[in-house]
Structure 1
Amino acid sequence: MTVSKLLTTLLAPFVLLLPLVVSPAWAETRLPLMTVYKSPSCGCCGDWITHMKQNGFEVKVQDTHNLNPIKMKAGLTPEIASCHTAFVDGYVVEGHVPASDVKRMLTERPAIKGLSAPGMPVGSPGMEMGDRVDPYDVVSFDEEGSVKVYRSYR
């Protein structure tokens, strides 16, 4: 047996397994593009965008000096508003919502308009301040204006 035939015989099983090693079936599927509208001077928005990218989202950033028309079009009321507004796969994501909640929403596909972390809760993604973490809720909201707790952080 030639060396080349011997190598082919020995390596053939590993070559067949290569696609599983390079792109395992259990790997997370690609997340949809997220478009984020924010003020050009807002640092916490940039930190939240970094959080989303670190969690697998591709993010397109749109800086604007007037977020009000975007928030109004998204159906956001002052009670659930925050500093930045994002759109992903037909949903609205307002403020410092953790990536895990956005992924859950995209997986479960609830009949809601979107999620919000109202205000700017300390300790939420992008709003880290050392060890301080204030309790906050991520809420869901729908077309009729109904707001419900989606997940509580305590």
Structure 2
Amino acid sequence: MNRKTIAVAVVAVVAVGGIAYWSLGSPNALLQGTSVAAASDNKAITIWRDPGCGCCDAYADYLEGNGYEVTRVDDPNFDQRSIEAGVPRQGIGCHLAEIDGYVVSGLVPVEIIERLVAERPDITGITLPGMPANAPGMAREKTGTLKTFAFGEDGVTVYSEE
């Protein structure tokens, strides 16, 4: 490489670094690329569901009503897909979803999904097993307490009980 090419490359790297610094607000934000990405407004979610399940449609409508862009995929074998995605067999929910790299199984309330995506814990995903009558999609509004579990390489733990 000649000196002119090297000089242009150095100027380009410095310019990109300066733009990133000013866009993100601080050098710490630049080092926390995962946190910056998580702060984005990614509200695209894909749901694999049993084609005949009305509560899955009601849940998808609930998500859309909360600003999510929902892709619905009919999959009569969503339970097998759930297990393959890492959901514990005893933790399978009403349908399987994917958002921002996480697996979400069941009728999980929006505020819990948003906390998952914002906090970015080192887990595979979360599940609200079964079809609780007080969960979004089963009821007009969430009522009472719902226990959501986290799952991943370290096993299963309670993620939220609210």
Q: Common fold, TM-score beyond 0.5?
A: yes
Which residue of structure 1 aligns with residue 77 of structure 2?
Answer: 66
Q: 1:123 aligns with which of 106, 131, 134?
A: 134
Are 1:75 and 1:143, in contact at CA under 8 Å, matched by a contact in 2?
A: no
Matched, 1:98 2:109: yes
Which residue of structure 2 aligns with residue 11 of structure 1?
Answer: none
Aligned pairs, how many? Answer: 124
Kindly state the Cα deviation for residue 69 of structure 1 after the two structures are TM-superposed: 3.1
Are 1:98 and 1:125, in contact at CA under 8 Å, matched by a contact in 2?
A: yes
Which structure is larger by alpha-carbon Rg, 1 or 2? 1
How many Å separate the matches in 2 of 1:149 and 1:49? Answer: 24
Gapped regions of structure 1 (runs ≥ 5): 1-27
Q: 1:77 aligns with which of 88, 92, 95?
A: 88
How many Å separate the matches in 1 of 2:147 and 2:50? Answer: 24
Amino acid at match of 1:140: A
Matched, 1:109 2:120: yes
Amino acid at match of 1:91: Y
How many Å separate the matches in 1 of 2:41 and 2:122? Answer: 22
Question: More helix per residue: 1 or 2?
Answer: 2
Kindly state the Cα deviation for residue 116 of structure 1 after the two structures are TM-superposed: 0.6
Which residue of structure 1 aligns with residue 152 of structure 2?
Answer: 142
How many Å separate the matches in 2 of 1:89 and 1:63? Answer: 20
Q: For residues 37-61 of structure 1, what are the alpha-carbon distances to aligned partners after superposition, in whole Å with 9 as ceiling and x for unaligned?
A: 0011101111111111111211111
Are 2:79 and 2:95, in contact at CA under 8 Å, matched by a contact in 1?
A: no
How many Å separate the matches in 2 of 1:121 and 1:81? Answer: 12
How many Å separate the matches in 1 of 2:124 and 2:159? Answer: 13
How many Å separate the matches in 1 of 2:92 and 2:50? Answer: 14
Kindly state the Cα deviation for residue 133 of structure 1 after the two structures are TM-superposed: 4.4
How many Å separate the matches in 2 of 1:54 and 1:88? Answer: 17
Q: 2:42 aligns with which of 21, 31, 38?
A: 31
Which residue of structure 2 aligns with residue 22 of structure 1?
Answer: none
Kindly state the Cα deviation for residue 143 of structure 1 after the two structures are TM-superposed: 2.5
SS of residue paired to 1:47: helix
Gapped regions of structure 2 (runs ≥ 5): 1-38
How many Å separate the matches in 1 of 2:128 and 2:79? Answer: 17
How many Å separate the matches in 2 of 1:48 and 1:40? Answer: 14
TM-score (norm 2): 0.69
Q: For residues 64-121 of structure 1, what are the alpha-carbon distances to aligned partners after superposition, in whole Å with 9 as ceiling and x for unaligned?
A: 1222331122111221111200011110000010011000110110101111101111
Q: How does 1:12-51 map to 2 (within 5 A)?
A: 30-51=41-62
